[in-house]
Amino acid sequence: MGAVVELLTADANVMATAFTDDHGRYLMAAILPGQYQVRASAAFLLPATRNNLRIQAGAQMIVNLTMSTLFEAESWLPAQKRRADEPADDWKWTLRSTASRPLLRMVGGDDQGVSISSSAPEAHKAVQQARVSVTSGDGAFGQGGVHQVMLLNRTLEDGDSAILRVDMGNPPAGFPLRPSAEVSAGYERRSPMGGNTRLVTSYQSHPELTYGSGAGLQVMRLASTQQISLGDAVMIDVGTLVQAERLAATRFVSEPFLRVMARPTEGLMVEYRFATGRSLQSSDDLDKIKPPADVLTDASGRPLSAKGSHQEVSVSKKLGTRTVAFAVYSDNFSSGALAGSGLIDRTGLAGVPMVADPTTGTFRVASNGYWGRGLSGSVVQPLTPSLAVWGEYDLGTALWSTAGPAPTLNTLTSTVGAHTAQAGSVAIRGKVLRSGTSLKAEYRWQPLRTLTQVNTYNASPDEAYLGFYVRQRLWCGRILPEGIDAVVEATNLLEQGYQPVLAPDGHTLFLAQLPRAIQGGLAFNF
């Protein structure tokens, strides 16, 4: 819905423009005979083009276009991490599998449209794409220094797809460390009966991370998901994540999930979700093929489990172009995770449940687990076919500091407890079609003394206070080749929510939901 479809001549002049309706259909009437090409574009989707279309006088032509959502920077499928405000995605409302999503349609010649089944077989062409990105900045936890990222994606003729991502990170000058490495590979197989199966495996090596008397983190992950569609009324999404982490010891964990969506009436969606970990709560979470560097350790350097449970029931309703949603949930965490910023001496790590990243000056501290429940509401209002505004309110449980000014890390666990808190966020996301700018700007507010996010399972880890992401295609004519994008990303730009805490060596550190990080660079597409 809302895709921009352009009819172009052989020399790329735009002859007509149309927008797709809520079923993905479009119509162009009274087209002169000749040879054309059709191009479709939409926010967060890869543009699709069909070339060498010859329209004859008095004839109709039906052109089905499948817009590939594969291949986005740092992503397999470039969807946002699943949020309570996600019902704006029309694929969710139609409850069709990836093998039978509504297709874009064009009818030329006559004014009369032709009805085509949205589940009609669609021919695929083998497509291979690549992207090389170079980024640098102060970075977030586990993302310091200069990173070179190579992303390869191949779509097969039967609609199956495979992707490979390699990230090599060189630490900043002055840190005699080996480069970090992240390798991820994914495969998606589409079922002709509806649904799809995904498998993603990844390996991470971060020699820069330090803990207790040791250094270095290694993580191996294997995630698999299966979507099953029962007609247009019910979709079942199940999967599991198996992960092995090694710090001072090795820990194995399995985190299954279940998600059931039902549409009792048109425009109404009821959903139940059960998850045991934040990393994988649905098949959509495999869209972000970049693995997170989430790790917790005890005072002796052994990895801790952040496994818990999340149960949620949500109801979403479409009111015209606007979407409203309401959810109630219950959470349980075996260990809490506190983030912070500040340089800490290696000797100060002894006896503290902390993992530090000296290249970015960030760290993570483990705290006691907690249980909580809450509710949330959200509204999504499109501004243009490719740009929308989100608003969300959360009332739930978060970790709260009860200590006085500047407590010590050694006593932090005893001074942090679970309290009821509120949070609100507003965001604008989408794409400016005229300039080709991909944009995400967000401000998420919480009380100053909260140390973790409210509604943690639904909030993305990079959402705290003011942040933005901008991706701009560079148009420089013959000066630069085509396919170059400039990327800038900033989180917690105003450095809000910082709370002082004393390290064992006497230095002052700061706890924050998300320390400030700014990164930028170039991406080369070919």
Question: Which has the minimum average pLDDT: 350-364, 442-456, 467-481?
Answer: 467-481
Phi, psi of 409 (to 5 degrees): -65, -35
Instruction: Dump pLDDT digits (tens) for 284-318.
Output: 888 776 777 778 888 888 888 777 899 999 999 98
Instruction: Dump pLDDT digits (tens) for 53-91.
Output: 888 887 888 898 887 654 443 333 333 444 434 433 333
HSE-CB at 238 with a 13 A cutoff on CA atoms is: 3
> What CA–CA distance (Å, rounded) separates 189 from 4?
28
Percent pLDDT > 90 in the chain is 26
Percent pLDDT > 70 in the chain is 85
Q: Is 411 helix (H, G, I), strand (E, B) or coil?
A: helix
Q: Is residue 211 pLDDT above 80, yes or no? A: yes
C-alpha Rg value of the chain to the nearest Å: 24
Q: Which residue has the higher pLDDT, 190 or 147?
A: 147
Instruction: Dump pLDDT digits (tens) for 245-279.
Output: 998 899 998 999 999 999 888 889 999 999 998 88
Q: Is 123 helix (H, G, I), strand (E, B) or coil?
A: coil
Location of structure tokens 């640098």: 136
| Inter-residue contact 331 to 373 (CB < 8 Å) | yes
> What CA–CA distance (Å, rounded) separates 71 from 75?
6
Amino acid letter for position 174: G
What confidence category does residue 377 fall into, taking pLDDT thresholds of 50, 70 and 90?
very high
Phi, psi of 285 (to 5 degrees): -70, -15
> What CA–CA distance (Å, rounded) separates 387 from 14?
22
Amino acid letter for position 510: F
pLDDT (average), residues 93-110:
38
| Inter-residue contact 359 to 177 (CB < 8 Å) | yes
Residue 94's H or E segment, with its range, is helix 90-94
Q: Is residue 342 pLDDT above 90, yes or no? A: no
**Residue 446, C-beta contacts closer than 8 angstroms, at least 6 positions apart:** 398, 421, 422, 423, 453, 454, 464, 497, 513
- Residue 317's pLDDT is 92
Instruction: Dump pLDDT digits (tens) for 270-290.
Output: 999 999 988 888 888 887 767
Q: Is 414 helix (H, G, I), strand (E, B) or coil?
A: helix
Tell me the CATH number for domain 127-525. 2.40.160
291 class by beta-carbon count within 10 Å (0-12 exposed, 13-18 middle, 19+ buried): buried
Q: Is residue 98 pLDDT above 50, yes or no? A: no
Q: Which residue has the higher pLDDT, 231 or 245?
A: 245
| Inter-residue contact 426 to 443 (CB < 8 Å) | yes
Collect contacts of 47-53 with beta carbons under 8 A, ≥24 apart. Answer: 48/104
Instruction: Dump pLDDT digits (tens) for 398-451.
Output: 988 777 677 787 777 778 889 999 999 999 988 888 888 888 999 999 888 888
Joined tokens for residue 237: 């999404």
What confidence category does residue 126 fall into, taking pLDDT thresholds of 50, 70 and 90?
low
